[in-house]
Amino acid sequence: MTHPDGLEVEIASGSMTRLAGVSAALGGAEGIHLAIATIPPGCASSPHYHVNCESAIYVVKGRGRFLSGPKLEKSDAIAAGDFIYVPPNSVHQPINDSLTDELELIVARNAPVEIVVEYDPESE
């Protein structure tokens, strides 16, 4: 069990920070990872993809956009209560459109440690 004061601080992506509650480091997880990601008002994660896992995201609070595709050409509005599926190797970028409220996401993955590749859509 992990209490809120024992969350694992993970590497930030752009302005997004992530705190894990279930991970290999915290409890020896071998096939799952669960974290809370927070994006400050008017900010975004960096464009990236995961090579070794698929992800499921639940929007806890806030609103924004979820960009995806090789040039981040697909834009979906997201808000509290939405679920997002991210296949392996899928370029994506969550963006917080609010100028006053945080965007909070629960992120689950089918690997205890992710391999993230930062991505520049202009390079393709």
**pLDDT by position in tens, the chain (length 124):** 999 999 998 877 778 889 999 999 998 999 999 999 999 999 999 999 999 999 999 999 999 999 999 899 999 999 999 999 999 999 999 999 999 999 999 999 999 888 888 888 777 6
Helices (H) and strands (E) in the chain, counts: 1, 11
CATH topology of domain 4-122: Jelly Rolls (2.60.120)
The pLDDT, as a whole number, for residue 124 is: 60
The Cα–Cα gap between 43 and 20 comes to 21
Structure tokens at 90: 């899928």
